[in-house]
Copies of this chain bind each other. A is one copy, B any other.
Amino acid sequence: MTSEKGLSVVMAGCVEALREMDDLHVVLVGDPARLDPEMARQPRRDRMSLHPASQVIGMDEEPGQAFKSKKDASVSVALRLVAEGKVQAAVSPGNTGASVVAATLTLGRLQGIRRPAILMTMPHGQGYTCVLDGGAVVDCKPEDLCQFGVMASLYVEKVMGKPAPRVGLLSIGEEEIKGNEQSHAAFQLLKNAGLNFIGNVEGGDLFNGGCDVAVCDGFVGNIVLKTAEGLARMIREELKKSIRAGNLLVRLGGLLSRSAFNDAARRINPDEYGGAVLLGVQGNFIIAHGSANEVAIKNAVRLAHTCASQDFVAKLGRRVASSEPAAR
């Protein structure tokens, strides 16, 4: 119900996900009066069902307030289905802040988790760099940052299937002495957390495959995400503008090479990953862009499916609960 693109886009994404995954069942949570007619038209109707929710949290609502006043909001209802074990994962395209609040309060934190955090994935053509936190925890203690590293490392290992993930601390220079008070303290903790900790990484390392995980607080992480989105948009616009302003041959060239543009755009399109994962709560929860298109919705559902199949939350719970440092 929260998608900015409307129900038909969400529905199309779900249908595509059902086509790709045979053992998937999708429960759509929202207003039956609007969902029923949409669903009736779908080809995979047999593996879709509907769960009613009468309210919607808008993109601009204040998260805590909205969660408290709208008990029957679609995101809260979906999360209650997760908490009750009726579904194995939830996906919500919409208000990120409200999603974090609703998930933290509905699912609860895993034992031993200090602060649930948002794992974002930044594409770099050959893969992804995970950035944690993407905006859930804006004022972090060094201990929070260290735990982000532990959570993200396990995620890359278990969900992305990459052994011994290289965990870096996002800072302003590679040397250990570079950074601020917070990062200096976090550096010492991460060094002794039993991770494959590679030290400080810089902003540029997010896009060159220099690390698998970059740890930062949610203030920095969110600014980095928005900076990257804004710059990518600007570059695309400026390129288009230059081609449109060119002579006939330049415009022809733009036309001929368009498929290469699209190829590159697809390789580095964050939508291809599907969404952000909220790590540290007792359940699988994927936060998709409010403006997620069909492909992004499909990939978000796929990601939810993967997290559930891997039983990631249970693994994370065991890792954090054990007093042992995370295995190398």
Stoichiometry, copies per complex: 2
The segment from A50-58, A150-158, A239-247 that touches chain B is A239-247
**Bound CA–CA A242/B62 (angstroms):** 43
Instruction: Please report the total number of A residues contacting B with Cβ < 8 Å.
Output: 65
How far in angstroms is the closest Cβ of chain B from A252? Answer: 6
Which residues of chain A from 40 to 82 have any CB-CB distance to chain B below 8 Å in the complex?
A: 62
B residues in contact with A160, CB < 8 Å:
none
Instruction: State the A residues within 8 Å of B (CB).
Output: 62, 124-125, 135, 138-139, 170-172, 177, 179-181, 183, 202-208, 216-220, 222-235, 237-239, 241-243, 245-246, 249-261, 263-264, 267-268
Interface centre among A177, A246, A256 (most CB of B within 10 A): A256
Cα-based distance from A223 to B215 in the complex (angstroms)? 12
| Contacting residue for A260 out of B171, B183, B239, CB 8 A | B239
10 sampled A-B residue pairs with Cβ under 8 A: A179-B219, A180-B217, A204-B226, A204-B233, A239-B261, A242-B267, A250-B256, A250-B257, A250-B260, A253-B256
Q: Does more than half of chain A's interface fall in helix, strand or loop, or is it mixed?
A: helix
In Å, the complex CA distance between A208 and B242 comes to 17
Q: What are the nearest 4 A-B pairs in CB distance?
A: A253-B256, A204-B230, A203-B226, A253-B257
**Which B residues touch A232, using CB under 8 A?**
231, 235
CB distance from A26 to the nearest CB of B (A): 31
Chain B residues, Cβ within 8 Å of A124? 234
* Contact in complex: A224, B204 (CB < 8 Å): no
Query: Nearest residue in B to A248 (C-beta to C-beta)?
Result: B256
Which of chain B's residues has its CB closest to A217's CB? B180
* CB < 8 Å neighbour of A246 from B170, B217, B260: B260
* CA of A268 to CA of B170, assembled, Å: 25
Chain B: minimal CB distance from A156 (Å)? 20
Are the C-beta atoms of A235 and B238 separated by less than 8 Å? no
A234 and B208 form a contact (CB under 8 A): yes
Task: Given contacts A124-B234, A235-B235, list 6 more A-B pairs with CB under 8 A.
Answer: A203-B229, A207-B230, A242-B264, A243-B257, A245-B263, A256-B256
A173 to chain B, nearest CB (A): 8
Most chain B CB within a 10 A radius of its CB, from A220, A254, A258, A267: A220
A278 to B43: give the CA distance in the assembly, Å.
63
CB-contact partner of A252 in B203, B218, B234, B253, under 8 A: B253
Question: In this complex, which of A125, A242, A249, A252 has the most chain B Cβ atoms within 10 angstroms of its Cβ?
Answer: A242
Query: Which residues does chain B contribute within 8 Å of A205, judged by CB atoms?
Result: 230
In the assembled complex, the Cα of A121 lies from the Cα of B219 at a distance in Å of: 21
Partner of A231, one of B207, B238, B254: B207
Tell me if A252 and B256 are in contact (CB < 8 A).
yes
